[in-house]
Each structure stands twice: as C-alpha cells, then as structure tokens.
Amino acid sequence: MLYPSIDSLMEKLDSKYTLVTLSAKRARVIQQTAYAGTEDTKSNKPVGKALEEIVEGKLTFDINKLQG
C-alpha cells in the first residue's frame, strides 16, 4: 500500500496535474537544500517527502493567487 494514498492527496488539491506540479517543484527544493518540512518521514526520496507534506497540510496551493 502506498503512503500517502492518492485519495488523501486529492482531498487537499483540486487536480492530479496540480498534485504532480506542486510535488515535483517541492521535491527539487528538498533535493537541493536537503531540508524537508516534516521531521519523521516514511519516505527517503524527495518526491515522497513532498507528498507527505501535502497530506499534512504543510504544502498548499491556491489557484486564486494565480488568477489575479
């Protein structure tokens, strides 16, 4: 079983495209700075850590900020 599940991730974001984009950008930052916002992560990889941050609510995205 994967953690976090896609269902729990989709409760936090509006689309799978947003999920992929947000997690990829955050994973790059984690990889470059070696810092993850969560201390006890189940994943060792940057993408997994980014997904865990999304589920925990530490990483969010607001489409309204982009629209003006």
Q: Which of 10, 25, 12, 4 is nearest to 58 (CA)?
A: 12
pLDDT value at position 38? Answer: 59
Instruction: Output the pTM of the full model.
Output: 0.80
pLDDT value at position 14? Answer: 86
Residue 18 falls inside a structural domain: yes
Q: What is the pLDDT of residues 14-61, one digit of tens each?
A: 899 999 999 999 999 998 987 656 567 788 888 999 999 999 988 887
In the chain, the number of structural domains is 1
pLDDT value at position 37? Answer: 61
Q: What share of the chain is helix, strand, coil (3-state, %, to 5)?
A: 55, 0, 45
- Calculate mean pLDDT across residues 5-19: 91
- Calculate mean pLDDT across residues 9-14: 90
Residue 1 falls inside a structural domain: no
Q: Which domain holds residue 24?
A: 6-67
Residue 62 falls inside a structural domain: yes
Residue 25 falls inside a structural domain: yes
Residue 39 falls inside a structural domain: yes
